[in-house]
Structure 1
Amino acid sequence: MITLFLSLAVLQIQLPSVKLNDLEARITAAPDTLFVVNFWSTWCKPCIAELPEFDDFHRMVSNKPIKVLLVSVDDIKDRAKTEAFIGKRNLVAEVVLLNESKPQEWINWVSPEWSGAIPATLFVRSGTGTRKIYETTFTSSDLRDTISANGWGEL
């Protein structure tokens, strides 16, 4: 009976949906924080494979001015499916659902250099002007190495 209750609770995850202006406000409100923003989808196998890596990295940097944000680009109409998908994983990092209908607009907002392919990860710190997109998969070690190599933080 306890197992059934826990299983039902896991399926009841409610992801916040965000607009571009929400993301921008979030990033600019913390100018000294390096945001590691991963764009992913439930239909993208490489994205799914790297989610635990981002979660591990999130745990590793939880006491540093680094914030991992996992942004699902699944269609907002598939919200229940995305929430069930997340509910089956025990992710600690923050997960949000992008609620934008014109991909070319939000892709360009993220970075003019981004083709829109996923997985993609944006490293951004508004206080220093840091903003770099990578169209590749990451391990937690890769994330740490990328931040160190670019001088974006001490790990």
Structure 2
Amino acid sequence: MKKSLLLSCFSLIFLLTACGNKKNKNTAINNNENITVYNFNTIEPLLYSTSNKTKIVNFWAMWCAPCVKELPYLQEYAQKHPNVELLLISLDFPETIEKELKPFLKEKNITAKVVMLDDPDANSWINKIDTNWSGAIPFTIISNKNKRLFFERSFDSVEDLENEIQKNF
């Protein structure tokens, strides 16, 4: 009797610990449980910073190899600098969210905020963001309330991103 009670207690402790760890592990992933789809008019306000806080907005897609390569660098930089806000704007198709995008983010351990831009009139909104932008991705906006810079290139490392920000902000 004592043996089975002891075994039951250990089993309960193990289950509670395992469930607790699983819950904590998934908390970061919950940031992308609900991915909002915007058109350009509704996403445009999110592209600007109205504070001294540095804001990084990155346009990317799962099919873009340089985009995928730089995502961890952007996320790591934002995690190291709590005063930085990072927004990842996916240009993938909305119908891919559940079966492709969410599993991709989980597999790549991307926990930064991801939203999706679904606006077919790219010729219109690309020029509204930056008249010099060709439309190629990755494309990154780094800004605060006083300054706004555009990068039509991928960042090769966290240090590369850090150097650009230190040099310009």
* Residue number among 25, 40, 50 corresponding to 1:20 in the alignment: 40
* SS of 1:15 mapped into structure 2: coil
**Which has the larger displacement, 83-92 or 25-34?**
25-34
Equivalences for 1:27-46 in 2 at 5 Å?
27-28=47-48, 30-46=50-66
Fraction of identical pairs, as percent: 29
Give me the whole-angstrom Cα distance separating, in 2, the residues matched to 1:48 and 1:54.
Answer: 10
Give me the whole-angstrom Cα distance separating, in 1, the residues matched to 2:151 and 2:71.
Answer: 15
Give me the whole-angstrom Cα distance separating, in 1, the residues matched to 2:72 and 2:126.
Answer: 24
CA contact (8 A) 2:47 2:57 kept: no
CA contact (8 A) 1:13 1:86 kept: no
In structure 1, the residue matched to 2:90 is 72
TM-score (norm 1): 0.78
Output the amino acid matched with 2:73. Answer: E
What per-residue deviation string (whole Å, max 9, x for no partner) do you get for residues 114-148 of structure 1?
A: 001111111122x21x2221111112111111011
In structure 2, the residue matched to 1:88 is 107
Distance change >3 Å, CA 27–CA 137, structure 1 → 2: closer
Give me the whole-angstrom Cα distance separating, in 1, the residues matched to 2:153 and 2:47.
Answer: 22
> Comparing both structures, which one devotes a greater share of its residues to helix?
2
Give me the whole-angstrom Cα distance separating, in 2, the residues matched to 1:74 and 1:27.
Answer: 18
In structure 2, the residue matched to 1:97 is 116
Q: Runs of at least 4 residues of structure 1 off by over 6 A?
A: none
Q: Does 1:47 align with 2:67?
A: yes
In structure 1, the residue matched to 2:12 is none
Distance change >3 Å, CA 83–CA 92, structure 1 → 2: closer
Distance change >3 Å, CA 28–CA 52, structure 1 → 2: closer
Give the deviation of 1:29 after TM superposition: 6.6
Q: Does 1:149 align with 2:163?
A: no
Give the deviation of 1:28 after TM superposition: 4.7
Q: CA RMSD in A?
A: 2.6
* Residue number among 131, 154, 167 corresponding to 1:137 in the alignment: 154
Give the deviation of 1:44 after TM superposition: 0.6
In structure 1, the residue matched to 2:131 is 112
What per-residue deviation string (whole Å, max 9, x for no partner) do you get for residues 59-91 of structure 1?
A: 1111x2x21111111122332322221132322
Output the amino acid matched with 1:75. Answer: F
Give me the whole-angstrom Cα distance separating, in 2, the residues matched to 1:82 and 1:31.
Answer: 31
CA contact (8 A) 1:108 1:114 kept: yes
List gaps (5 residues or longer) in structure 2: 1-17
